[in-house]
Amino acid sequence: MSKKALFYHKESEFIRCDLCFHGCRIKKAEKGICGVRENRGGVLISLNYAKLVATARDPIEKKPLYHFYPATYAYSIAAAGCGLKCKFCQNWTISQVQGREKELLSLPEVQPQEVVEAALNYNCASIAYTYTEPTVFIEYVLDTAFLAKEYHILNVFISNGFMQKEVVKELANCIDAFNIDLKSFSDRFYSKICGAEEGSLLKILDNLAAIKEKDIWLEITTLFIPSLNDSPREMRQIAKFIAQLDKNIPWHISAFYPSYKLLNLPPTSSEVLKVAYDIGKEEGLRFIYIGNIVTKLGSNTYCPFCHNLLVEREGFWVVKNLLEGRGNCPYCGLKIAGRF
């Protein structure tokens, strides 16, 4: 099924896609940078609508979302594509479609109703739009998310934040939680390593602020890559920015492993993540979690006031949850930020 895309307008003989910051000008019979939106006779078509390349029942902690109904499951889905071309992408086999269109865009269709039914059958509290970049399958996200709401299923959007303001506004009507990658605090990193245009960092920061203003639950992830974005200065810039937005936003700091086009760099050491953790604490962040590496530091949730253990985790598994159904610290009564 060809699905007419949302978020575009016509400009003489071109189509201008208004979905992500690239704002591709697309000639007839051509596609945008993401490779999944095509100008067919002056109409923009979403080529990946309902063509799911991945589905899984994941603990919500795997997204990662640590303060959003811990220990529940998310029915995770992805269609192919991404607007960015991060050299370190861990899911590049499904996010980068160029040259692999046949494999990724000719799949049998899974309609939104079937996704909702699967989420119900697998006892999932939420549907997660994840693994690739859900912005580039926005039409499917919206159809599925609005339907899911009718069945009291929550929706979570795991994204690079590289989408235009109007898209955030629309998502705010159906998404209950976001995890957004803040990949760097350098515009140069976004352009050289991720293929973004200059000025993208500021726009992503604006989107984070917009999500926060709308009072939708937000967690932020940063993957630290040796020599590219792991200087203490940059760690502090990121932590400061998050703290200015809200010190209660959980910050997931994550380890890089050699992947895709960055096979020449070593994995991130636990020492580097500890530096980021300490800097985040110095900047006042209340919840910092370390991911992608085996460590006891930064996996549990503690009360920021009385410091008692509230949620204990082993990997993505919650082994103890004292916040379930209440969201207040049982020792001192402090309201813990999140949805519980």
Interface with ligand SF4 (CB under 6 A): 17, 19-20, 22-24, 32-34, 37, 83, 136
Per-residue CA distances from 29 to 41, 80, 91, 139 (Å): 7, 19, 27, 20
End-to-end Cα spacing for the chain: 39
The pair of structure tokens assigned to 169 is 């506004």
Give the length of the chain: 340
**In terms of CB distance, is 42 or 284 closer to ligand SF4?**
42
**In terms of CB distance, is 95 or 221 closer to ligand SF4?**
95
**In terms of CB distance, is 142 or 303 closer to ligand SF4?**
142
Nearest to 21 by CA among 141, 149, 194: 194
The rounded distance, in Å, linking the Cα atoms of 320 and 317 is 9
* Least distance from ligand SF4 to the Cβ atom of residue 65, Å: 24
Task: Using CB positions, name the residue nearest to ligand SF4.
Answer: 32
* Least distance from ligand SF4 to the Cβ atom of residue 160, Å: 11
* Least distance from ligand SF4 to the Cβ atom of residue 217, Å: 25
* Least distance from ligand SF4 to the Cβ atom of residue 94, Å: 16
The rounded distance, in Å, linking the Cα atoms of 336 and 276 is 23
Region at 12 (left for phi over 0; alpha for psi -120 to 50; beta for the rest)? left
* Least distance from ligand SF4 to the Cβ atom of residue 38, Å: 9
**In terms of CB distance, is 34 or 303 closer to ligand SF4?**
34
The rounded distance, in Å, linking the Cα atoms of 87 and 262 is 6
The rounded distance, in Å, linking the Cα atoms of 65 and 155 is 12
The rounded distance, in Å, linking the Cα atoms of 270 and 255 is 8
Cis bond leading into 64, ω under 30°? yes
**In terms of CB distance, is 16 or 236 closer to ligand SF4?**
16
**In terms of CB distance, is 37 or 62 closer to ligand SF4?**
37
Grouping H, G, I as helix, E, B as strand and the rest as coil, residue 118 is: helix
* Least distance from ligand SF4 to the Cβ atom of residue 211, Å: 19
* Least distance from ligand SF4 to the Cβ atom of residue 209, Å: 21
**In terms of CB distance, is 24 or 255 closer to ligand SF4?**
24
* Least distance from ligand SF4 to the Cβ atom of residue 83, Å: 4
Write the CB contacts of 126 (distance below 8 Å, at least 6 apart in sequence).
60, 68, 69, 72, 73, 74, 75, 119, 153, 154, 155, 156, 176, 177
**In terms of CB distance, is 202 or 263 closer to ligand SF4?**
202
